[in-house]
Structure 1
Amino acid sequence: MSTEVQIEISQPQRLRALKSAGAVAILVVAGVVSGGIFSRVHARQELTAWTQAQAIPTVVTVTPQHTAASQSLVLPGRLAAFVNAPIYARVSGYLHAWYADIGTQVKAGQLLGLIDTPDLDEQLQQAKADLQNSIANEKLAATTARRWTEMLKQDSVSQQEADEKTADLLARQATVEANEANVRRLEALESFKRITAPFDGVVTARKTDVGALIDAGSGSGPELFAVSDAHQLRVYVSVPQSESAAIHPGMTATLTVPERPDMRFDAKLVDTDHAITPSSGTLLVQLAVDNRAGLLFPGEYTEVHLALAGNAHGLMIPASALIFRQSGLQVAVADAQDHVQLRHVSIGTDLGTQVEIASGLQPEDRVIDNPPDSLAQGDAVRVASTEKVAATPAAHDAEQTHG
């Protein structure tokens, strides 16, 4: 009897213990589940924050710099002889001899070559014979005219006959003058058998040789010689239209050539062609440089350094900071809160890797260099700790080059 009572008493206690253990297990499972959910939410929030932070671009800014009081404009130039004369033949024949080869220093009137002209020689002899014949006929006509004039005074001949003899004399005189002119023409051509230097200089080309056939009548053959005066050289430079207003005669410039990098040559601007070439948008400028030392050669490439007055209000920035969009030319500026402000700007001078901004920027602006293509107004950016300083024209003359 007592055993049954004990069994009935112990069963509810066991049930209560089981219920307590189940409740604890449920609480543990709920804690684990809630903890996992919380950690996942937290991780997702951290991932979102990290993604948003990584979406903010890191940029490098540059500080605009004022342009120097004077800036050097470097342009390619071409050297040319002050005087260059290709010498062609005026008479046909064969080259008898040449007396000056390339590189020979010659004086004005010095003999360069001699042409054999047998046809021309015979024409001159014939012309001289015709002249002698016409002179003899003129003398006879003069004697006849005098006689008929005397006879007319004695009424031995008619006035008509006397006038005919006088007119014949005038015709004979005109024939003499024509033959004399023909002889002078052929003698002038004979003088062209001697090919001479037109001025002091150096022979830069000889394109003929002994025995070569020379046909002066074709007009399509090459020149026989070329003589250049290189004591002074001309320098031709194409200046961009944007810089043409600063170009004026009397300006000074310096030249450099690749084969003599440590030497500079002084040049003076002579004049311009006063016209902008439509195909290139440039102004042709001519300078003169003294070459009495003979260190420069016609046809050489040279770099021309022109000193131009700087723009007091211009600001220099790298060309890589420019943004080309449909709305126009812009630059991106980082404000005090590191947000992007897009500024419309205008270029004063394009110097290759550097550009001079005429309007749209302030000296204190932080200009973003190499801005991303997706950068928009108001975007947040992360500014790198180190800021670059835009190069000034005085520091980078070599970069200020127009091709």
Structure 2
Amino acid sequence: MTTNNSIQIMFAAVLLAGCGVSQSKPDNKPAETVAANAVSMFTLKKDVFSASLRIPGELVAYQQVDLYAKVNSFVKKLYVDVGSNVSAGQLLATMEAPEMNAQLAGAESRLRSQEAVYLASKANYDRLYQTSQTPGTVSQNDLDLAFAKQQSDYAQQEAAKAAYREIADTRNYLEIRAPFDGVISTRNVSAGAYVGPSGKGSEFPLFSLQQQRKLRLVVAVPEAYTAYLAGEKAISFTVRSMPGRAFNGTINRLSGALDSRLRSQRIEMDVQNNDKTLLPGMVAEVNIPLNNKDSVFVVPTTAVVSSTEKVFVVRLKNGTAEWVNVRRGRDAEGKTEIFGDLEAGDILVERANDEIRNGSKITQKK
């Protein structure tokens, strides 16, 4: 009995000790919940969003052309070389094609012969016409035949003139002249080389000519930013070879269509380059301002939550958190423009995340 009583007393003591520990443990759960739900907030308002797009571009010659020989010939003399500055109409090279002189002489002989035939038929018709003024001397049929012969010979004479001009004009192609002011950037032939039209006499052009005093800055702007582009908008850009110097330009041309592969719009800016500091082919870093004329909702970037399912902000409504779906606009300097079912004056969480559950109690941090 004594042993059983001792066991019962010890068992009761253990139970009482366990209950005492459980009752004495402090419950910190409400305090932690209150601390976790106190967040920084701000008042939503509209503002004019000012941002800029930094994007690479390429400088290209304002005009560029590859010059080929029009006819199969041999290079007789070159008057320019790589780096030569030339003006419009300047002689760059002369060719020689001896067989063309013989063709021109033959065409001239045929022209003279046809002129003589026409003069004879014209004189014959004039005589018959004068004679026909006396009734009964010349039949009308003979007069018509003589007139037809005169017209035919005249047409043959004009054809001979056209053939002569064709060969004479072709011979003029033996002189290669600059179509505009520029710089010779490539020379692929030397004196005595056989040249001709592309694919027939020459695989490469005689010269490549570039206009460098005025350049085009070409940029492919992504589709998301095309709505903010406008003609005559001033831009600035830099190049790697001169990192400390900024250059200016103006948007002059928009392609008006998106590239099917890159989903971007080509824009061009004219850049004056009178000192030829910039060179065609340089890569530029372009800064394009994307200012919006209308005011929009602008919030800190941290206030926008991008989850795998949605993009939203957290709004304070009657002391609880409300997820509001939004669409993101542009981002710049820690600010983001948003579009959604919002109103000016709404209270939003400044640093939102998906741990602040929709419908949970939240308070504004003091």
Q: Same fold (TM over 0.5)?
A: yes
- The structural deviation recorded for 1:151 is 4.8
Alignment partners' CA distance in 2, 1:59 and 1:184: 93
Which digits, 9 at most, give the CA deviation of each residue in 1:282-320, with x for residues without a partner? 443332221112122223322322333345433143379
The question of whether the paired residues in 2 share the 8 Å contact of 1:80 and 1:299 is answered with yes
- The structural deviation recorded for 1:62 is 8.8
- The structural deviation recorded for 1:107 is 0.8
Alignment partners' CA distance in 2, 1:316 and 1:115: 70
Residues 74 and 245 of structure 1, relative CA distance in 2, 3 Å threshold: same
DSSP-derived class of the 1:368 partner:
coil
- Alignment match of 2:219 (pick from 204, 219, 237): 237
- Alignment match of 2:17 (pick from 35, 45, 54): 35
Partner of 1:392: none
Partner of 1:304: 286
DSSP-derived class of the 2:218 partner:
strand
Counterpart check, 1:108 vs 2:88: yes
Look at both structures and tell me which one has the larger radius of gyration over its CA atoms. 1
The question of whether the paired residues in 2 share the 8 Å contact of 1:77 and 1:303 is answered with yes
Counterpart check, 1:251 vs 2:233: yes
Alignment partners' CA distance in 1, 2:180 and 2:351: 62
What are the within-5 Å matches in structure 2 for residues 307-326 of structure 1?
307-310=289-292, 312-318=295-301, 321-326=304-309
Matched residue type, 2:101: D
The question of whether the paired residues in 2 share the 8 Å contact of 1:320 and 1:353 is answered with no
Matched residue type, 1:187: A
Alignment partners' CA distance in 2, 1:22 and 1:81: 108
- The structural deviation recorded for 1:191 is 0.8
Partner of 1:177: 158
- Alignment match of 1:267 (pick from 217, 237, 249): 249
Alignment partners' CA distance in 2, 1:96 and 1:126: 24
Give the percent of matched residue pairs that are identical in Structure 1 and Structure 2. 22
Partner of 1:295: 277
> Which 10-residue stretch deviates more, 121-130 or 298-307?
298-307
- The structural deviation recorded for 1:24 is 7.2
What are the within-5 Å matches in structure 2 for residues 188-199 of structure 1?
188-199=169-180
- The structural deviation recorded for 1:197 is 0.4
Partner of 2:208: 226
- The structural deviation recorded for 1:340 is 5.3
Partner of 1:11: none
Partner of 1:5: none
- Alignment match of 2:311 (pick from 329, 332, 348): 329
Residues 353 and 226 of structure 1, relative CA distance in 2, 3 Å threshold: farther
- Alignment match of 2:267 (pick from 285, 299, 308): 285
Which digits, 9 at most, give the CA deviation of each residue in 1:168-208, with x for residues without a partner? 23322222211111111111111111111011111223344
The question of whether the paired residues in 2 share the 8 Å contact of 1:66 and 1:316 is answered with no
Residues 293 and 124 of structure 1, relative CA distance in 2, 3 Å threshold: same
DSSP-derived class of the 1:70 partner:
coil
Alignment partners' CA distance in 2, 1:236 and 1:354: 29
The question of whether the paired residues in 1 share the 8 Å contact of 2:216 and 2:271 is answered with yes
Residues 114 and 320 of structure 1, relative CA distance in 2, 3 Å threshold: farther
Higher helix proportion (structure 1 or 2) = 1
Residues 37 and 71 of structure 1, relative CA distance in 2, 3 Å threshold: same
Unaligned stretches of 5+ residues in structure 1 = 1-17, 386-403
Alignment partners' CA distance in 1, 2:333 and 2:155: 74
> Which 10-residue stretch deviates more, 93-102 or 56-65?
56-65
What are the within-5 Å matches in structure 2 for residues 368-387 of structure 1?
368=351, 371=353, 376-378=357-359
- Alignment match of 1:82 (pick from 57, 62, 67): 62
Partner of 1:365: 348
> Which 10-residue stretch deviates more, 303-312 or 212-221?
212-221
Alignment partners' CA distance in 1, 2:347 and 2:146: 106
Residues 61 and 207 of structure 1, relative CA distance in 2, 3 Å threshold: farther
CA RMSD, 1 decimal: 4.3
- The structural deviation recorded for 1:131 is 0.9
Alignment partners' CA distance in 2, 1:69 and 1:96: 64
Alignment partners' CA distance in 2, 1:53 and 1:121: 103
DSSP-derived class of the 1:293 partner:
coil
Unaligned stretches of 5+ residues in structure 2 = none
DSSP-derived class of the 2:165 partner:
helix
DSSP-derived class of the 1:124 partner:
helix
Matched residue type, 1:255: F
Residues 275 and 169 of structure 1, relative CA distance in 2, 3 Å threshold: same
Which digits, 9 at most, give the CA deviation of each residue in 1:113-165, with x for residues without a partner? 22222343332222112112212222333343344445545666544334433
Matched residue type, 2:339: A
TM normalised by structure 2 equals 0.77
